[in-house]
């Protein structure tokens, strides 16, 4: 498993984690923004009117309304990325990451408009009478590139497990265990039954459920966010200043105590932006293809609102909650994750200027750092490591404090531990102490710094439950339609059964390998989709012109 995981990480180094990927993603969005004349600005008001059903026609084919399609697509994007993803982006890239998430969302509004319009245009009616669409259909039916469509469809199925399924229930189960001490197996069992009840009913039941969950979870999250923002209103101005200042200066003050480079903030912001709103990935067009719309451009206009609601609204609220509360630069007691734990040679602290500079270079991958990872044996007495000042323990990009080694969950460990290349080898030992935190844990801490006090942190597991569960529902449909494209209707039920089984298993299992595979699959969805969009840029422009001629003129007269 470890060898396979490392192999996938190596592949990802040439794909999503490569330096070129953010530029391709933003470049396509910028091209279409200029080529189509800033549709995310010009058509923004009209998009809301289409969503409201002002131009609906009774003879339009489809399975869902505009609002239900938007809700399903939003439920697929509004998830852990909005809660934990934003916190991780700020943790890794500082406030500047928010700026680049905004840029990704702004350009992504146009990208989403294009991919949804094309996918809706080339959708088909399946054997059971429902609609099926997505980038694989325009790649096949319009571009005659079936091989590319097959790659996209397979990647969609992998991503349905690695993005929408397993990590979502894993996050839910961990959050419910930490907050309410509920056994992950019970969380997985109950939610798996509910998931099966929803997805077996197909897109109409999925749309009916998501159209109710999305508004509720959105309102709850906005109320919780505003309670923190207004409580820390004096810090909001500085929060905005830091977002813009660090975006253009690459300030080393970003990224917690030890800083993040400009490139790091840019890369993390763009990638988190994609993970948040999925513009360009080609997933949301699958949901929008089910919508009742006479003209594909009409549904494309509705999709413009997705990155706005998902990233510019909800992710901004999360970012302001974290920045204004100040928790992102504070050390908190926590259980150290092995992936964030590092033992280095020498004694360092994050107060001394020279030490901070060296730690900054080490954590950001600079080649001229003097810091080396420690390998050897370490004596532990009553839970405390006897480092003799020769070793520094890092966790979550910070120098760890009050570090304790425990076993069986509570007993102080006594004995020897082996450290190899900075990693703790002994599996049954837990390490706890004070350090920076990130992801959903950071957002949860920030929500406790508002008018609701400590009760505010309970908003996170509750909204995470709804966000993540609705994401799992939406992605089941994405994978469902990819299966239909590849093997037909006969493959749908086996896929749904496997999807529910994987959902249950991931509630208590290690999903690291699935996460890594998904990272590769996401790029194998995105790059073919972006290529197809570019190849059809002239058709897209003529399709938009035709829409305004046949449909838009009537709107302008009103």
Distance CA 541, CA 544 (A): 5
Two structure tokens written together for 116: 């949804």
Residue 542 has a pLDDT of 95
d(CA 540, CA 543): 5
Contact at 8 Å (CB) between 110 and 533? no
What's the CA gap between 529 and 486, in Å, rounded? 17
Task: Output the pLDDT for position 252.
Answer: 42
Instruction: Give me the domains of the chain, ranges plus CATH numbers.
Output: 1-251+271-330+446-544 (1.20.1740), 334-435 (no CATH)
Per-residue pLDDT of the chain (558 residues; tens, 9 = 90+): 567 667 766 776 766 667 788 888 889 999 999 999 999 999 999 999 999 888 877 777 878 888 888 888 887 777 777 887 788 888 877 888 888 889 889 999 999 999 999 999 999 988 888 889 999 999 999 999 999 999 999 999 988 988 888 888 887 887 788 778 889 899 999 999 999 999 988 888 888 888 888 888 888 899 999 999 999 999 999 999 988 887 776 554 444 445 555 666 666 666 676 666 788 889 999 999 998 888 899 999 999 999 999 889 999 999 999 999 999 888 999 889 888 899 999 999 887 878 888 888 888 777 888 899 999 999 999 999 988 888 999 998 889 999 999 987 678 899 999 999 999 988 789 899 999 988 878 888 999 999 999 888 888 888 888 888 888 898 999 999 999 999 999 999 999 999 999 999 988 876 666 667 777 778 889 999 999 999 999 999 999 999 988 765 555 444
Q: Are 278 and 51 in contact (CB under 8 A)?
A: no
pLDDT value, residue 254: 42
Q: According to the model, what pLDDT value does residue 400 have?
A: 93
Length of the chain counted residue by residue:
558
Where are the strands (E) in 356-400, listed by range?
A: 376-381, 384-385, 391-395, 398-399
- Whole-model pTM? 0.85
Place of tokens 């829409």: 547
> Distance between CA atoms of 32 and 36, rounded to whole angstroms?
6
Q: How far is CA 202 from CA 209, 299, 473, in A?
A: 11, 20, 10
Extract long-range pairs of 402-411: CB within 8 Å, 24+ residues apart.
Answer: 402/333, 402/433, 402/434, 403/431, 403/432, 403/433, 404/431, 404/432, 404/433, 405/380, 405/429, 405/430, 405/431, 406/430, 406/431, 406/432
At 381 the three-state DSSP class reads strand
Cβ contacts of 404 within 8 Å, gap of 6 or more: 383, 384, 412, 431, 432, 433
Residue 374 — φ and ψ, nearest 5°?
A: -90, 140
Provide DSSP, 274-288: HHHH-TTTSSHHHHH
Rounded CA-CA distance 546/528 in Å is: 26
Q: What is the pLDDT of residue 257?
A: 46
| Residue in 115, 34, 40 with CA at minimum distance from that of residue 73 | 115
Residue 110: closest CA among 553, 537, 552, 556 = 537
199-237 b/e (C-beta count within 10 Å ≥ 16 → b) = beebbeebbebbbebbeebbeebeebbebbbebbeebee
What pLDDT shows up at residue 510?
Answer: 66
Q: How far apart are CA 190 and CA 479, in angstroms?
A: 22
**392 vs 341: CA distance, rounded Å:** 11
């Amino acid at each position: 498993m470890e060898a396979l995981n490392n192999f996938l990480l190596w592949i990802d180094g040439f794909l999503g984690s490569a330096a070129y990927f953010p530029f391709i993603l933003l470049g396509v969005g910028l091209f279409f923004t200029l080529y189509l004349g800033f549709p995310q600005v010009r058509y923004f008001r009209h998009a809301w009117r289409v969503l409201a059903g002002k131009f609906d026609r009774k003879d339009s084919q489809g399975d869902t309304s505009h609002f239900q399609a938007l809700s399903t697509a939003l439920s697929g994007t509004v998830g852990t990325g909005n809660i934990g993803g934003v916190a991780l982006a700020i943790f890794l890239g500082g406030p500047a990451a928010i700026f680049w998430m905004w840029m990704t969302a702004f350009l992504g509004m146009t990208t989403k408009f294009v991919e949804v319009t094309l996918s809706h245009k080339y959708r088909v009616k399946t054997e059971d009478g429902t609609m099926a669409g997505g980038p694989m259909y325009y790649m096949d039916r319009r571009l005659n590139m079936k091989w590319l469509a097959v790659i996209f469809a397979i990647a969609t199925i992998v991503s349905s497990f690695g993005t929408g399924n397993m990590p979502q229930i894993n996050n839910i189960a961990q959050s419910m265990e930490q907050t309410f001490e509920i056994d992950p197996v019970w969380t997985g069992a109950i939610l798996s039954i509910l998931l099966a009840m929803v997805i077996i009913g197909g897109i109409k039941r999925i749309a009916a459920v998501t159209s109710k969950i999305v508004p509720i979870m959105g309102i709850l999250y906005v109320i919780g966010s505003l309670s923190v923002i207004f409580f820390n209103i004096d810090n909001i101005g500085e929060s905005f200043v830091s977002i813009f200042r660090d975006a253009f200066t690459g300030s080393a003050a970003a990224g917690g105590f030890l800083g993040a480079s400009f490139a790091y903030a840019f890369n993390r912001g763009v990638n988190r932006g994609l993970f948040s709103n999925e513009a360009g990935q080609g997933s949301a067009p699958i949901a929008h293809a089910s919508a009742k719309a006479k003209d594909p451009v009409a549904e494309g206009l509705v999709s413009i609102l997705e990155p706005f609601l998902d990233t510019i609204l909800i992710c901004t609220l999360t970012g302001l909650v974290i920045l204004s509360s100040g928790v992102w630069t504070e050390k908190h007691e926590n259980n150290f994750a092995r992936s964030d734990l590092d033992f280095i040679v020498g004694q360092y602290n994050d107060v001394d200027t020279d030490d901070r500079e060296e730690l900054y270079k080490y954590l950001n991958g600079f080649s001229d750092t003097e810091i080396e990872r420690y390998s050897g044996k370490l004596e532990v007495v009553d839970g405390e490591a006897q480092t003799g000042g020769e070793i520094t323990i890092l966790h979550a990009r910070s120098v760890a404090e009050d570090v304790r080694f425990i076993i069986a969950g509570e007993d102080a460990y006594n004995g020897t531990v082996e450290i190899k290349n900075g990693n703790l080898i002994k599996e049954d030992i837990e390490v706890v102490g004070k350090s920076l935190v990130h992801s959903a844990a950071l957002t949860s801490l920030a929500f406790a710094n508002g008018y609701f006090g400590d009760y505010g942190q309970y908003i996170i597991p509750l909204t995470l439950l709804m966000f993540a569960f609705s994401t799992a529902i939406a992605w089941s449909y994405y994978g469902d339609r990819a299966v239909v494209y590849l093997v037909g209707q006969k493959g749908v039920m086996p896929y749904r059964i496997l999807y529910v089984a994987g959902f249950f298993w991931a509630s208590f299992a290690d999903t690291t390998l699935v996460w890594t595979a998904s990272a590769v699959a996401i790029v194998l969805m995105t790059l073919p989709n972006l290529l197809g969009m570019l190849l059809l840029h002239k058709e897209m422009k003529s399709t938009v012109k035709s829409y305004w001629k046949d449909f838009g003129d009537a709107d302008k007269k009103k």
